[in-house]
Amino acid sequence: MRLFVGLGNPGAKYARNRHNIGFMAVDAIAADHGFGPWRAKFQGQMAEGVLAGEKVVLLKPETFMNLSGQSVGAAARFYKLGAAEVTVFHDELDLAPGKLRVKTGGGHAGHNGLRSIQSHLGADYMRVRLGIGHPGHKDRVTHYVLQDFAKADEAWLDDLLRGIADGAPWLAEGKPDRFQNAVAQRMAPARPANPKPAPKPVPDTAPGPGTVPDDPAPTDDAARSPLQRLVDKFR
């Protein structure tokens, strides 16, 4: 059994925020793989389904980001899951928009949602880091993550979420490399080989009907008779 957690803040006000990309990720998995309806439990919203023959519970904590660990800890205890069975989808400032990386363990890098989870679960869970880019200065981070994605982000965001849904069964099987490959294929699909260009037609140099051929090249002056050379002088 696996617990997939998407991080974000509850309510329509935050729904399209950069900080809510974790919610968007688990929503995409639920929609694409026919999970059951979302229902309130563990101080959040949860849905159940099956991926690659493995039971998976999706969880969106509604405690607000800074207290996400309360919800995740309650779910993990209820299902008797260790950190190794938990995967957390979260926004990542240190990755360019649209980039995705998977890692297990490590620090929280100042992410308050991860900080809270680690206080309840320890650090040895899997993280799916979803790049949103950095605003350039730490003083602008809070405002930046609580802003909606821009119009220019919509294309890559849609591809990323579709890729996450495509690859989710690999995560359930514990194969993060294959999951990342599935996302990469959706983000940059293979292009068909370019067809060979048609050979250029060889121009037809034969004169067409009614065409007057060019004057033949003049013959060597030495081969002309004295009379011909005399006539040439008066032309």
Instruction: List pLDDT tens digits, range 110-138.
Output: 899 999 999 999 999 999 999 999 999 99
pLDDT of residue 81 exceeding 60: yes
Locate tokens 């294929």: which residue?
185
For the chain, the domain total comes to 1
Separation of first and last alpha carbons in the chain: 105
Q: Is 19 a catalytic residue?
A: yes
Q: Are 91 and 160 in contact (CB under 8 A)?
A: no
On whether residue 219 sits in a domain, the answer given is no
- Is pLDDT above 80 for 231? no
- Judge whether 36 lies within some domain: yes
The pLDDT assigned to 188 comes to 86
The secondary element (H helix, E strand) that includes residue 76 is: helix 68-78
Domain range spanning residue 176? 2-187
The residue annotated as part of the active site, out of 19, 108, 111, 120, is 19
Does 207 map to a domain? no
**What's the pTM value of the predicted model, to 2 decimals?**
0.80
**Does residue 111 form part of some domain?**
yes
Q: Is residue 224 part of a domain?
A: no
pLDDT range class, residue 166, cuts 50, 70, 90: very high
C-alpha closest to that of 46 among 88, 1, 4, 89 = 4
Beta bridge partners of 87: 4, 126
* CA–CA gap between residue 146 and residue 190 (Å, rounded): 34
227: in domain: no
**Cβ–Cβ < 8 Å for 182, 51:** no
Task: List residues bridging with 129 in a β-sheet.
Answer: 90, 101
- Is pLDDT at 20 greater than 60 in this prediction? yes
10 inside domain: yes
pLDDT grade for 17, boundaries at 50, 70 and 90: very high
In a domain, 202, yes or no: no
Do residues 149 and 18 touch, judged by C-beta distance below 8 A? yes
194-220 pLDDT tens trace: 656 666 666 655 555 555 555 555 555
Report d(CA 27, CA 20) in Å as an integer: 11
What pLDDT does 109 receive? 86
CATH number at residue 118: 3.40.50.1470
Name the pLDDT band for 230 (thresholds 50, 70, 90): low
Give the pLDDT confidence of 43-78 residue by residue, as tens digits. Answer: 999 999 999 999 999 999 999 999 999 999 999 999
